[in-house]
A and B are shown apart, each in its own frame.
Chain A
Amino acid sequence: MNEHDRLREMLARRSELTPGEETQLQEHLAGCDECRSLHTVYARQAALLRSLPAVSAPPALRAGVLAAIERKKRPRRWVLPRYLIPVPAAAFVLVAAVLAYENRPQGAPSHTALTRITAPVLTQPATTGVRRGKPTAVPKPRRTPVTRRHHHSTPLPSTPQGAPPVVAVGPSPAGTQASQSGPVQPPTTSATSLPALGTPVVIAVRSPVTTSRRQPPPTAPAVSTPVHAASTRPPTATAVPTAAQLGSPTPVSASGPPPTGTPTPSAPQPPAPGPSPSPTPSPTSTP
């Protein structure tokens, strides 16, 4: 770069020249017409550029910046992807089911308890099965209806096929449930359909057990005594119905007052249709 080119470059940036450079340029301009005319052109050029009218910034500029900052300040919402929505829903259902299971009524036996009940009962005679059931799994009073059912279900072999179940007429849920095992239930009790004491009970065990899971815990365990009487074991301290009592519907109904306030399968029921010999209430009916 020769001296002329260096001074032309200084002309292009004259506004930032140092005092020494300005002095040097002035000395050159005094003796160079070409550079003097160029100095005039560049000075006018800079003035033109500086005089360009500035456009006002649009209001959208500041508004957009501030809006973007506001968006950044806000915490980001956590949005669950649509395909993941069933996951919390299933988790909720699962938790709800677990909570419902844990908070179920105390009277309702658990599934494991039922298993413990039915397992020995199905494999053994009713009396031993009932006796040997784990006391922790099934409350003792709950077995009483089993034995009661068992007592009345002993005449199963002689039950006509069309005979309605005993508990089918009961308004309680237990009675409704018992209707599922209707075919093995005896018809309405009569003196003729009751077996004699000491008859081993094996077949009818299953039905009463399944029925008993819906039955509320009875208050009087006296009903179980006929079963014990039916077996070879000595009767317990509870009252043992006599044959006369078994022959009539009253002994069972007199076995003890039904639990108050709780539905029982022995609720009053209409006369059972079918070959029931008498329209009297079923043995399980309450007075």
Chain B
Amino acid sequence: MPEARDRIESQLVELMNDYERPIYNFLLALLHDSDVALDCAQDTFLRAYENLRKGRPVNAAWLYTVARNRAMDEFRRNRKLQTDIDTLEQVPMHEHPDRALAVRAVLEQLSPADREVLYLFDVAGFKTDEIGAMLGIKGSAIRQRLSRARERFRVLYGAEA
């Protein structure tokens, strides 16, 4: 029994090594609140641990799905999820700091549905059918949503620029 528990913990640590940062950034992009994103990420990995204990597999899609649902719960609770200035300040400045801030500002203005589709497709690298499976909707609906989100992003980014 202790060996199985250690094995599950080692699996969880491997998952966290691979997805701790992406999941946290995904939640940060969705929620724009570092504290709430931290809570959601912790819940995500704790649920992953419980899933592993039950002998069920946990992969990236599962983690993003749980994280996304957890973020949607936060939205449903009408929590005040506004841009966290500290979150923006902790973004490391690279060679184009203004552009990165502009992109984040545009993402912030998008709806959570558009935001998550863009993030999952461009940043996380999921296919539209996979995103549809994660969100529980058809891949064709995700493709339409992605097209609309790109168009809105283009408009908003043009105004920011």
Contacts of B123 in A (CB 8 A): 49-50, 52
Contacts of B24 in A (CB 8 A): 55, 57-58, 61
Most B CB within 10 A of own CB, among A9, A55, A68, A69: A55
Q: Are A65 and B46 neighbours in the complex by a CB distance under 8 Å? A: yes
| Residues of chain A at interface, number, CB under 8 A | 30
Chain B CB within 8 A of A62 CB: yes
Closest CB-CB distance, A54 to chain B, in whole Å? 5
Chain A CB within 8 A of B69 CB: no
Which residues 21-71 of A sit at the B interface, judged by CB distance below 8 A?
A: 41-42, 45-46, 48-58, 60-62, 64-65, 68-69
Chain A CB within 8 A of B94 CB: yes
Chain A CB within 8 A of B90 CB: yes
Given A9-B147, A48-B99: A68 in contact with B122 (beta carbons within 8 A): no
Contacts of A102 in B (CB 8 A): none
Q: Are B103 and A48 neighbours in the complex by a CB distance under 8 Å? A: yes
Q: Are A12 and B157 neighbours in the complex by a CB distance under 8 Å? A: no
Q: Are A65 and B119 neighbours in the complex by a CB distance under 8 Å? A: no
A73→B50 CA distance, assembly (Å): 12
A119→B127 CA distance, assembly (Å): 99
A9→B143 CA distance, assembly (Å): 7
Among the listed A16, A42, A65, which residue makes an inter-chain contact with B128, where contact means beta carbons less than 8 Å apart? A16
Chain B CB within 8 A of A116 CB: no
Q: Are A13 and B146 neighbours in the complex by a CB distance under 8 Å? A: yes
Among the listed A49, A61, A68, which residue makes an inter-chain contact with B103, where contact means beta carbons less than 8 Å apart? A49
Among the listed A9, A41, A56, which residue makes an inter-chain contact with B144, where contact means beta carbons less than 8 Å apart? A9
Chain A CB within 8 A of B20 CB: yes
Q: Chain A at the B interface: mostly helix, strand, loop or mixed?
A: helix
Chain A CB within 8 A of B49 CB: yes
**For this complex, into which size category does the number of interface residues on chain B fall?**
35 or more
Nearest B-chain residue to A64, judged by Cβ: B42
Which residues 122-157 of B sit at the A interface, judged by CB distance below 8 A?
A: 122-123, 127-128, 143-144, 146-147, 150, 153-154, 157
Q: Are A69 and B91 neighbours in the complex by a CB distance under 8 Å? A: no
A49→B100 CA distance, assembly (Å): 9
Given A45-B154, A48-B103: A54 in contact with B21 (beta carbons within 8 A): yes
Q: Are A53 and B122 neighbours in the complex by a CB distance under 8 Å? A: no
Chain A CB within 8 A of B5 CB: yes
Q: Are A55 and B25 neighbours in the complex by a CB distance under 8 Å? A: yes
Closest CB-CB distance, B117 to chain A, in whole Å? 10
Chain A CB within 8 A of B98 CB: no
Q: Are A50 and B45 neighbours in the complex by a CB distance under 8 Å? A: no
Given A53-B91, A58-B38: A12 in contact with B22 (beta carbons within 8 A): no
Chain B CB within 8 A of A8 CB: yes
A245→B35 CA distance, assembly (Å): 104
Nearest A-chain residue to B153, judged by Cβ: A45
A72→B143 CA distance, assembly (Å): 42
Q: Are B150 and A45 neighbours in the complex by a CB distance under 8 Å? A: yes
Contacts of A68 in B (CB 8 A): 42, 46
Nearest A-chain residue to B24, judged by Cβ: A57
Chain A CB within 8 A of B41 CB: yes
Closest CB-CB distance, B97 to chain A, in whole Å? 9
Contacts of B31 in A (CB 8 A): none
Q: Are B147 and A12 neighbours in the complex by a CB distance under 8 Å? A: yes
A68→B9 CA distance, assembly (Å): 12
A202→B154 CA distance, assembly (Å): 120
Among all A-B residue pairs, the 6 with the closest Cβ atoms = A49-B122, A12-B147, A57-B24, A9-B147, A57-B20, A12-B150
Q: List 18 A-B contacts (CB under 8 A).
A: A8-B147, A12-B147, A13-B128, A45-B150, A45-B157, A46-B122, A53-B92, A55-B24, A55-B90, A55-B91, A55-B92, A57-B21, A58-B24, A61-B41, A61-B45, A68-B42, A69-B12, A73-B5
Q: Which residues of B contact A (CB under 8 A)?
A: 5, 9, 12, 16, 20-25, 28-29, 34, 38, 41-42, 45-46, 49, 87, 90-92, 94, 99-100, 103-104, 107, 118-119, 121-123, 127-128, 143-144, 146-147, 150, 153-154, 157
